[in-house]
Amino acid sequence: MKILISTDIEGVAGVFHAEQARAGNGEYERARAWMTAEANAAVQGAFAGGATEVLVNDSHGGFRNLLPDQLDPRARLVLGKPRYLGMMAGVEGCDGVFMVGYHGRAQSRGILAHTINSSAFARVWLGGQEMGEAGLYGALAGEFGVPVLMASGDDVFVEETRPLMPWVRYVRTKQAGGHGSGTTLSPAAAREAIAAAAGQAVREAGGQPLRIPGPVRCRLQAHSPAYADLFCQWPALERVDGVTLVFDAASVQAAVRMLNCLSAMSFMLR
């Protein structure tokens, strides 16, 4: 069995402040070490459960946060951007996906909650369903016939994702008190829980792909009219109101690629 582990940082135990998720400071260096350790816990659990091959996808920010020299040597690492499949790069040919360190969607009360781009994107809907990164990328994996089997993050992430993918084995690493506060497991306790859930997820392998058949309509609410002005320079996008736009995509993959292109465009306004 081949497993892809997609690893973000905002849902990692002990992470509460944007500085911990942003390169160039000591707090980030500690947080990326915790992120790497949680990825390793998932790797170890996957192999203990019977996996024969594991890929770890660095899925935060610039996609170069995990520490390669600290990674379990049995795993291979997917680093760097741009990538067509983003947080799901490497999913082709896999039997299951783990989402480690994930967070709630934008405008939720989760810790460091956002969807793809915290500065530019306020809310995202796909096929009429509001989604965060877990839903978008879970559906992208589903287009390849690959189910999400295990996921970890704060309680808000778990509560909003469970109705979409109820078969997933969830690990709650912390409880949100607000966008930048809450109660966390210790890193050691989080790693233990992730390893146990990963092993059980592989042994049971009872998930199903999240499928959203194309074509799909994507609705995006920008954080300001300035971002909507910029995004609607792209002729395929239709302006709905001051901050809202829509576009049609042939598939979930096409929708996610468009969202990532818009995210990249947004940097010209910063």
**Segment 127-183, tens digit of pLDDT:** 999 999 999 999 999 999 999 999 999 999 999 999 999 999 999 999 999 999 999
The total number of structural domains that make up the chain? 2
Q: In this model, does residue 63 exceed pLDDT 90? A: yes
**Per-residue b or e along 106-134, where b marks 16 or more CB atoms closer than 10 Å to that residue's CB:** bebebbbbbbbbbebbbbbbbbeebbbbb
> pLDDT-based confidence at 256, cuts 50/70/90?
very high
Same domain, 79 and 192: yes
**Checking DSSP bridges between strand 53-58 and strand 181-184, what pairing results, if any?**
unpaired
Q: How many CB atoms lie within 10 A of CB 151?
A: 27
For the four alpha carbons of 77, 26, 45 and 113, in that order, the dihedral sign comes to negative
Interatomic CA distance for residues 258 and 252, integer angstroms: 10
> What's the pTM value of the predicted model, to 2 decimals?
0.96
Question: Which residues does 66 contact at the CB level (< 8 Å), separation at least 6?
Answer: 7, 32, 35, 36, 39, 56, 58, 77, 79
Interatomic CA distance for residues 144 and 95, integer angstroms: 10
Same domain, 250 and 193: no
Out of 159, 178, 204, pick the residue that ends a domain. 204
Task: Return the H-helix or E-strand segment holding 138.
Answer: helix 133-143
Same domain, 262 and 198: no
**Per-residue pLDDT, 221:** 98
Same domain, 19 and 115: yes
- Domain of 7 in residue numbering reads as 2-204
Q: Which of 120, 136, 113 is nearest to 15 (CA)?
A: 113
Interatomic CA distance for residues 196 and 211, integer angstroms: 27
Q: Which of 7, 35, 14, 258 is nearest to 154 (CA)?
A: 14
Same domain, 40 and 80: yes
For residue 235, is the peptide bond before it cis, meaning its omega torsion is within 30 degrees of 0?
Answer: no
Task: Report yes or no on 211 lying in a domain.
Answer: no
